[in-house]
């Protein structure tokens, strides 16, 4: 078997793309999207009719509503390809507004349900700010499942687990990027690879903590820079992988070993911890990497949301 098929034996494989015409060849169970991926997809000729048709069908509606219609239309098309779930993201500009995030998420779910898609097939993506986690907690109580994204710290993961969130997406590659940049010329790629990769270590710590204490929140490693990071997290609940890395796994027939083990986590000497708002904010502040990458990620997604707004506004 190729490594992609081997990986599927103990980890749910998720396609990290808005290109639903490309993902079928890898047979993922789920798919994730974000504003950057959707922006990239809607500018491709193959998807131009989908964009123009959706805009035409909702002329005169507020821009934010039309944007969500476009996001949901992509999600619906993706769900024709994958048998599981699609993640659709709430506008990153709402990352610090709990009530606005809740309202936007409910609106997105309603669009899916109006189109005949049951809510269990949709994950609402929300940035892992304190306000975002609070919104997700309220949404989960209403049966709306959430994917907490832009997750870089243990404190974020603990708060999500305590909040009963369905799934988290810790960003492996962006953690790796930060530490590599900080090290500069001192960075040793070989020494920091595999299980020694700082992004891999972060996800491993979260995975082991969740499994040790029976926390039901699913761990989905995301934002990979190389196949080695994926191999080092084989056994995670899910991994969301870009098409180029899915292709690399599919082309490799070397044996792939399970790296993370929920049963083995039971014997680890770990302590249960909790965070209230003050301690959460302080822990995040103490983690320079997580603080910087969370802010940077929100800014980048917000900027692409602005670009998507402009593209749709110009086509109306």
**Crossing angle for the helix pair 288-315 and 63-79, nearest 10 degrees?**
100
Which residue out of 21, 125, 211, 258 is catalytically annotated? 125
Q: CA angle, 136 as apex, 132 and 138 as ends, to 5°?
A: 120
Cα dihedral value 290, 28, 213, 172, nearest 10: -20
CA dist., res. 73 & res. 173, Å (int): 29
CA dist., res. 170 & res. 66, Å (int): 29
Cα distances (Å, whole numbers) of residue 67 to 2, 31, 195: 39, 19, 40
Handedness of CA 133, 286, 221, 306 (dihedral sign): positive
Go through the chain and tell me how many residues it has: 316
**Residue 164, token pair as written in the block:** 């009963």
**Residue 261, token pair as written in the block:** 């083990």
Q: Which residues contact 225 (CB under 8 A, 6 or more apart)?
A: 172, 173, 176, 177
Three-state DSSP state, 261 = coil
Is 125 a catalytic site residue? Answer: yes
Q: Which residues are the active-site residues?
A: 125
């Amino acid at each position: 078997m190729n490594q992609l098929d081997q990986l599927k034996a103990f980890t749910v494989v998720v396609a990290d793309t808005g290109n639903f015409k490309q993902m079928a060849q890898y047979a993922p169970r789920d798919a994730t999207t974000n504003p950057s991926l959707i922006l990239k997809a809607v500018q491709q000729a193959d998807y131009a009719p989908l964009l123009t048709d959706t805009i035409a069908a909702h002329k005169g509606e507020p821009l934010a509503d039309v944007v969500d219609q476009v996001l949901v239309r992509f999600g619906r098309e993706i769900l024709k390809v994958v048998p599981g779930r699609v993640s659709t993201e709430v506008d990153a500009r709402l990352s610090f507004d709990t009530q606005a995030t809740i309202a936007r998420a409910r609106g997105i779910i309603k669009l899916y349900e109006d189109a005949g898609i049951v809510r269990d097939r949709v994950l609402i993506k929300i940035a892992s700010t304190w306000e975002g986690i609070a919104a997700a907690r309220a949404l989960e109580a209403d049966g709306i499942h959430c994917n907490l994204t832009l997750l870089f710290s243990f404190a974020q993961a603990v708060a999500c687990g305590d909040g009963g969130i369905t799934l988290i997406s810790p960003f492996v590659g962006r953690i790796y990027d930060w530490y590599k940049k900080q090290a500069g010329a001192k960075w040793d790629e070989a020494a920091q690879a595999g299980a020694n990769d700082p992004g891999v270590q972060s996800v491993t710590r979260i995975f082991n903590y969740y499994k040790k204490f029976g926390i039901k929140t699913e761990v989905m490693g995301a934002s990979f820079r190389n196949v080695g990071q994926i191999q080092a997290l084989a056994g995670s609940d899910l991994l969301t992988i870009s098409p180029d890395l899915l292709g690399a796994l599919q082309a490799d027939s070397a044996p792939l070993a399970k790296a993370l083990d929920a049963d083995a986590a039971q014997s680890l000497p770990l302590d249960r911890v909790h965070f209230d708002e003050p301690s959460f904010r302080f822990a995040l502040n103490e983690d320079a990497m997580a603080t910087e990458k969370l802010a940077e990620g929100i800014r980048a997604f917000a900027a692409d949301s602005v670009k998507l707004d402009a593209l749709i506004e110009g086509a109306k």
